Structure 1
Amino acid sequence: MDLQQMRYVVAVAETLNFTRAAERCMVVQSALSHQMARLEKELGTRLFERTSKQVRLTPAGRAFLPAARECLEAAERASAHVAAAIGEVRGRLAVGLIPTVAAVDIPAALRDFRHRHPQVRIGLRVGASDDLVEQVREGSLEVAFLGTPTTFSPKGVSSQKLAENRLVAVVPPSHPLAGESAVDLAQLAGETFIELPAGTAGRVQSDQAFTAAGIVRDIAFEVTTAEFMARLVAEGLGVAMMPPSYVPYLTGVTAIEVNGAPTRTEHVIWRSTGCTPAASAFLSLLGIPHRLGSEP
């Protein structure tokens, strides 16, 4: 059993097609099939069920796949650490971020990072703060940028606070409050709200502020992305609370400062066991104190 055979298993499992898997691995299909047959013979069982119409994992294949991925990731980390020992940064950098991150100019940071470390392959994943924390914990992301309530404390990861700001109300230009420079939370009490899903970090910060003010909101729409929230606001379907730094990227809406508005904290997080060389180099570029992981 070798790493190349494991790469073939992962490729077939992800494409469910031997031809596409061979193309991904840049080998002829006969060579891939031959290596798969050798591996299955060594293991004493079939990893895939093959018919003329489909390929699918057997129970043994489903059991083998996570271990194969772990082995490939360990080999990649080992290679990256060896490169780091001789002054090179290689491997991968998987970064997660919320759509409204503002404390760091992510595209500019990645541009600078790419210029310094062209051998690193970069993956970006946009999602909710809660999900990003879990993905950093499990290792599918190396670094993530979050927006959370001030009471939020990420567990099981290392973190640093980047910024803190108050949300603003976003309304359609024709809204009666659109001409106001600032309003109180009470003035929004009768509005219909467009919000993030209940329980998410982005939603909790608003819920806490309105609850503290004794205001029960009418939340008619729950949306998973800030961009689509703004589109619904522009159509006159309701109002929303958003970070002020994100509003300039929006069209068809007006922002209003709110006295007593919810406060959002932005954090950067990484694995508590330490960083990969690529993650360490990225955090260093941002001036974030951290430590390099020692595990291969």
Structure 2
Amino acid sequence: MLHGRQFPPQIYYEGSPQAVISESLLIGAFYIKSLSITCTPALQEPISNELGKVILSLPKLERLILKQVANRYWRDNSTPISPTFRLDVDSKLPPSLRILSLANFTFDEEQAISWARCITECDIQHLRLDGYLQISVLLKALTGSVPGLKSFASRVISEPDVLRSHGDFLAILDCFLQSITNLECFTSNDIPKEVLTSVIRHHGNHLRQLRFRQTSSMASILPRSEGKICLFSLEEIVQLSNGLAQVERLGLDLFFKDPTPYDYLEALARFPSLKYLELNTPNFCAVPSLGESIIKEAFHVEREQCA
């Protein structure tokens, strides 16, 4: 029995959708703050609709993560299924929602517009969108809908050459980034590095955190025999440091097979506000590509030169 000063527990759920829709007590439950739901295999429409009813009924939901296992939502090579649940004309996401992550769902134009409308009515601060190139449909609909966004992360599952030649995607992403007023954190996975030009142009003066990773496309970018090739040229690293003067946390994939050249470390040390640095070692690299003492020396020398 609850006494006068006691409050119901706050529930943070992570698991399958079946457990959510099978419990009628969850409908309208004001103590549920976070839902993280992984759909595997892809949901059939009756189940997805029931899941949608539960989610839309939660008045205090602050964090919603919906994910399908990659490649599970393709019936064949060209036909994706719908999002996890449909949003009707009168649908409303919980107004308390601040964090939204959608992974490996697809959106037709109608549903993209519906999701954008519902998201506009919330004060979303942190947004993550992962999926195939079709995620651009939702990005286009969302442009102008989340001007107050503080954090944006995205991963696109595609062959690098296909994605790089798909100019429409990068143009749509550029317009989306331009529509955000004061982005503080940007995370990019498997998106061509040209996106960083947009990040600098629209948010270089206020971005605090940048993580740029190339994971699935690494093998096609770098032949294993060419250990001196890097994803970024030395000049590009310097341009990043000049254009992102407020960045305090930086994560980059450089892809050196051999130890990272000293001049690259010096260039990384040029970021004037940098406090935390993450450099990822390629999977094919048998030994660490960086030595702690070398990093400290490079940063120490650069700081002395800037003093």
Give the TM-score, by structure 2 length. 0.25
More helix by share: 1
In terms of fraction of residues, the more strand-rich structure is 1
The answer to which structure, 1 or 2, has the higher relative contact order (CA under 8 A, 6+ apart) is 1
**Greater C-alpha Rg:** 1
TM-score w.r.t. the length of structure 1 is: 0.26
